[in-house]
Amino acid sequence: GENVEQHPSTLSVQEGDSAVIKCTYSDSASNYFPWYKQELGKGPQLIIDIRSNVGEKKDQRIAVTLNKTAKHFSLHITETQPEDSAVYFCAARLGGGADGLTFGKGTHLIIQP
Amino acid sequence: EPEVTQTPSHQVTQMGQEVILRCVPISNHLYFYWYRQILGQKVEFLVSFYNNEISEKSEIFDDQFSVERPDGSNFTLKIRSTKLEDSAMYFCASSRAGWEKLFFGSGTQLSVL
């Protein structure tokens, strides 16, 4: 099955700086890669996603890049703010239909004031 | 904005007891999912459900688990005889179509004593 590795497990950045979180996946058939933000005591909230036919996608301060050849994708957050502090999960999904998401282990992002 | 709702938010049970976790997916969604997250670990896929039947299930989803859509709005996860290792946060999710974005509920924290 699919395996997703995520790094780093903890990331501390100064407010206003950029943060980058990286993930690799194992199955080249995976074609959908969402990123979720999870705040304490809440469910994962989708923040951005990308499909395998696209190399990059941006939404305001958040961007995701995908390198299908290398089987890795990254989340980029620019101009970080205190409210960006949370745990971020990457995920990958094989095919379509009702296939489940395979999640990475998460990155605890800490924004230092 | 429509959201996935889960009840109860916290469930405490004795080992060996049956529990039912309840979810109301977003109303026009057709695909339903259960995931779980053991404290401090990644989110793991349990099962997906479409057209009143299970579409896919993981190794975790063994014979003690079952899912049901008893009416047009609810989606339930039953654990027949709970074990200590079933203690986790259980998330329900839904999507409009199998290839579309998943939206998660806030979860039910299950504690098995």
Measured in angstroms, the CA of B43 and the nearest CA of chain A are apart by 6
Q: Are B101 and A49 a contacting pair at CB < 8 A?
A: yes
Tokens representing residue A92 in the block: 């990958």
Tokens representing residue A21 in the block: 């979180």
What does the pLDDT read at residue A10? 97
Q: Are A101 and B107 a contacting pair at CB < 8 A?
A: no
* pLDDT digit string, tens, across residues A44-91: 999 999 998 889 999 999 999 999 999 999 999 999 999 999 999 999
- Check: CB of residue A57 under 8 Å from CB of residue A50: yes
Mean pLDDT of the A25-43 span? 91
What does the pLDDT read at residue A98? 65
Mean pLDDT of the B58-68 span? 95
- Does the structure show a pLDDT above 80 at A38? yes
Mean pLDDT of the B75-95 span? 96
Interface of B with A in 61-90 (CB under 8 A): none
Whether A98 and chain B come into contact, CB under 8 Å, resolves to: yes
Position B100 confidence tier, pLDDT thresholds 50, 70, 90: confident
- Long-range pairs of B51-56 with CB within 8 A, sequence gap ≥ 24: B55/A97, B55/A98, B55/B31, B55/B98, B56/A97, B56/A98, B56/A99, B56/A100
Q: Are B98 and A45 a contacting pair at CB < 8 A?
A: no
Measured in angstroms, the CA of B17 and the nearest CA of chain A are apart by 25
Closest CA to A13 of A104, A75, A90: A75
Whether B24 and chain A come into contact, CB under 8 Å, resolves to: no
- Residue B35: its chain A contacts at CB < 8 A? 100-101
Q: Are A103 and B41 a contacting pair at CB < 8 A?
A: no
What does the pLDDT read at residue A95? 66
Q: Are A43 and B102 a contacting pair at CB < 8 A?
A: no
- Residue A99: its chain B contacts at CB < 8 A? 48, 56, 98
What does the pLDDT read at residue B88? 97
Position A39 confidence tier, pLDDT thresholds 50, 70, 90: very high
Average model confidence (pLDDT) for chain A?
93
What does the pLDDT read at residue A81? 97
Q: Are B98 and A96 a contacting pair at CB < 8 A?
A: yes
Q: Tell me which residue has tokens 């259960």.
A: B34
* pLDDT digit string, tens, across residues B9-21: 999 999 999 999 9
- Check: CB of residue B36 under 8 Å from CB of residue B6: no
Tokens representing residue A40 in the block: 């304490």
